[in-house]
Amino acid sequence: QKGEKMILFTRNRLEMLELELAIMAYGGIAVPIFAHFKQDTAELLINHSDSAWMAVAGQEQMNNLGGGLKQLKSIFHFDEVNDNRYNNLVPFSELLKDIPVDEKSCFDDTINGDDICLNMYNGYSKMCAINTQKYLISTSSFRNCLGCYRTRSFFSLFALAP
C-alpha cells in the first residue's frame, strides 16, 4: 500500500533494482541496507525503519538475522533460503506471477512529487527521505551527466545518500 516500507537487504543485482522501482511505482517506500551488515546492525536498521516487508538476496542475509523480526508481514528472497525461524518466507518469483500484462496498470497514478519513495540510511540510524520529485530530478540529472540515454534506462541512488 501507499506509504508502506520495504527493507531491501541485498547486494546490488537486477532483482533488487526491479523491486526498488516496483515499490516506488506502487507508492511504497524502498529502504535499502547493505547486504553485508551483521545481525546487530541489520536488525537495528530493520526495526528503526518501521518496515512491514523485507527482501533478502539469500541465505547469507538470513544467517545475519536473529529470529525476532516478527513485525515483518513477508520476507521475499531472490535466491533459495532454508530458515525455519520464519514462516513468512516467499520466493521473489511468487511476486512476479501476478503482475498484470497491461504495464500501465502497475503504476499508481495518484502519486505526486511530494510522496516519499526512498529512505536511505546514512550511518546506523540516520535516515534521509527522498521524495518522488527529487528522485526523478536526480536520476534525470545523472542520466544527462553520464550520457545515460537509450542505452542505460535505469539508475539507482544506492550510493548517493549524503
Predicted TM-score (pTM) of the model is 0.69
Do 28 and 1 form a contact (C-beta atoms < 8 A)? yes
DSSP symbol at 36: T
Q: Can you tell me the distance from the alpha carbon of 8 to that of 77, in angstroms, rounded to the nearest whole number? A: 10
Q: What does each of the 162 residues of the chain score in pLDDT, given as a tens digit?
A: 888 999 999 988 888 888 888 888 888 889 999 999 999 999 999 999 999 999 999 999 999 998 888 899 999 999 999 999 999 999 998 877 776 655 444 445 555 556 666 666 655 555 566 655 555 555 554 455 545 444 444 444 444 433
Q: Residue 148's CB: how many other CB atoms inside 10 A?
A: 15
SS3 91: strand
